Amino acid sequence: MEYTNLGRTGLSVSSLCLGTMNFGPETSEADSHAIMDRAHEHGINFFDTANVYGWQKGEGVTEQIIGRWFASGGGRREKTVVATKLYGSMGDWPNDEKLSALNIRRAAEASLTRLQTDHIDLYQMHHVDRDTPWDEIWEAFSVLRQQGKVIYFGSSNFAGWHIAQAQEAARNRHFVGLVSEQSIYNLMTRWVELEVLPAAKHYGLGVIPWSPLQGGLLGGVLRKQREGGASRSANERSAALLEKHRDAIEAYEKLCADLGEDPANVGLAWLLHQDGVTAPIIGPRTAAQLDGSLRAAELTLDAEVLARLDELFPAPGPNGSKPAPEAYAW
């Protein structure tokens, strides 16, 4: 496993991040623990979760599963860089969500309890809160850092200007601010290349792509359909995207077959070739799926393959592969 620094920090994280959203709803606790053990065996030290995962309001099911795994010992906690998130509703009362100082304090304490740890390595805002001033957010976060309960802070689903706004507010307080941004990013969804990636690079944020295979559409969906295998892309939205991009996806799967590589690994490897990307999030439901993802970390795509992928899935804007404003202007 290769390791890299998370943004401008000295923190070393694996080039693949273990996503845990399936733990609980899709994957049993025993299997979830086995997947995390297997991740450590392969050298994956970066795990991502959120307080809302498990999808039972207020329960934090996934964090609890991870916490019980940490509590089983064997250096599991010490070997893991654990990232969790807050923002989503954890209750039915007005202050049980978003980024008020009150909710930040309560949410952090609750996550620490569920994770059975004394600190969170990377605490991420799951969404921008347009109603809470940045001074309030950074003050609340600075208290957590001073208390030793959180080490680093990150964002998720931020626009480029949100990153700039957050960092300038942090700078005014002489605070470290954000060190990472977690965005949807894959061959089919490349909007972050316009302004989020340039902003992240400017401010020294590592980029952690979520949905790196566009919900399975880049994971060999057409081959699986032909083989009669189950597909994660059965919902209405994914089905519509599949029909819209069928020709490109078919050509993509043919290119992967010609390379002798699994489409999922090519999609992940493409992300690892993008400037500023720290670690795509993989979300295995089984240990076998985790094992299958490891090839991506060692797969090198040459210039010809990268150019062909750009042809199949062009960057947004008429001028392609350029940041804003050149992507859509002169």
DSSP string, 100-164: -HHHHHHHHHHHHHHHT-S-EEEEEESS--TTS-HHHHHHHHHHHHHTTSEEEEEEES--HHHHH
Please state which of the four CATH numbers 2.60.40.420, 3.40.190.10, 3.30.2020.10, 3.20.20.100 is assigned to the domain occupying 3-312.
3.20.20.100
Predicted pLDDT of residue 230: 56
Structure confidence at residue 320 (pLDDT): 81
Query: Does the annotation mark 203 as catalytic?
Result: no
15's tokens? 């080039």
Question: What pLDDT does 236 receive?
Answer: 78
Give the per-residue pLDDT at 231: 56
Q: What is the pLDDT of residues 200-216, one digit of tens each?
A: 999 999 999 999 999 99
Q: Which residue has the tokens 């592969």?
A: 321
Count of CB atoms within 10 A of residue 237's CB?
9
Residue type, 134: W
Catalytic residue among 53, 123, 152, 252: 53
From CA 45, how far away is CA 78, in angstroms rounded?
10
Structural domain boundaries of the chain?
3-312
The angle formed by the CA atoms of residues 298, 300 and 305, to the nearest 5 degrees, is 145
Each residue's pLDDT expressed in tens, for the chain with a length of 330 residues: 999 999 999 999 999 999 999 999 999 999 999 999 999 999 999 999 999 999 999 999 999 999 999 999 999 999 999 999 999 999 999 999 999 999 999 999 999 999 999 999 999 999 999 999 999 999 999 999 999 999 999 999 999 999 999 999 999 999 999 999 999 999 999 999 999 999 999 999 999 999 999 999 999 999 999 998 755 555 778 889 999 999 999 999 999 999 999 999 999 999 999 999 999 999 999 999 999 999 999 999 999 999 999 999 999 999 988 899 999 998
Chain length of the chain: 330
Contact 147, 112 (CB under 8 A): no
Does this model's pTM top 0.75? My answer is: yes
